[in-house]
Amino acid sequence: MDYHIEELISEEKIEKRIAELAKQLDEEYAGKEIHLVVILKGSVFFACELAKRLTVPVTLDFMAVSSYGDGMVSAGEITVKKELDEDIADKEVLIVEDILDSGVTLYNLKILLAARNPKSLKIITLLDKKENHEAGIKADYVGFDIPNKFVVGYGLDYAQKHRNLPYVGVVIPD
């Protein structure tokens, strides 16, 4: 497929919003430690920018799950491709996601992690396609609500490409 990418959210806007989210988290987790569970690969860019701006103590771990192949259509369940290194029991866990689309990934992930008895379990997502949610799931913190379009950049890929774009753009077929 031939396509081009049109900017939807600029790098400047993203970074400003991440700073706001970090400030909000600093206030809400004051006196606590946040354990970031970063979902590979897409959330890494967002997680780094967020973590750098937090002043409460932060630890982090990584997990890889998949609900999609290399295309644009959702499957229905998740597969754990890389497990966490550490136990999350009694930790203030914040799942860091790049995008909440149908919600299937996070719905299943939340059930999986809740069973490990964290002290708290919340979700932050950079992007939220609210109108698309099928699973009964909602992020606790959202960077941007976006329309139901396929986007890339700032960690998000199309067939593994464009994760390194510093902005978020829409994939437009030519």
Binding residues vs ligand IMP (CB under 6 A): 42, 67-68, 74, 97-105, 150-152, 156-157
Closest approach of ligand IMP to the CB of residue 155, in Å? 9
Distance of CA 31 to the CA centre of its chain: 24
Give the DSSP letter string of 74-117: EEEEEEEEE--SS--TT-EEEEEEEEESSSHHHHHHHHHHHTT-
For the chain, where are the E strands, in sequence order? 3-9, 34-40, 58-68, 74-82, 92-100, 120-128, 141-145, 151-152, 168-173
Residue closer to ligand IMP, measured from CB, 144 or 150:
150
Residues in a beta bridge with 161: 158
Residue closer to ligand IMP, measured from CB, 29 or 156:
156
Closest approach of ligand IMP to the CB of residue 33, in Å? 25
Closest approach of ligand IMP to the CB of residue 26, in Å? 25
Integer Cα distance of 44 and 38 in angstroms? 7
Residue closer to ligand IMP, measured from CB, 99 or 165:
99
Catalytic residue among 61, 101, 140, 174: 101
Question: Is 101 labeled as catalytic in the residue annotation?
Answer: yes
Closest approach of ligand IMP to the CB of residue 158, in Å? 6
Residue closer to ligand IMP, measured from CB, 31 or 136:
136
Which of the residues are catalytic? 101
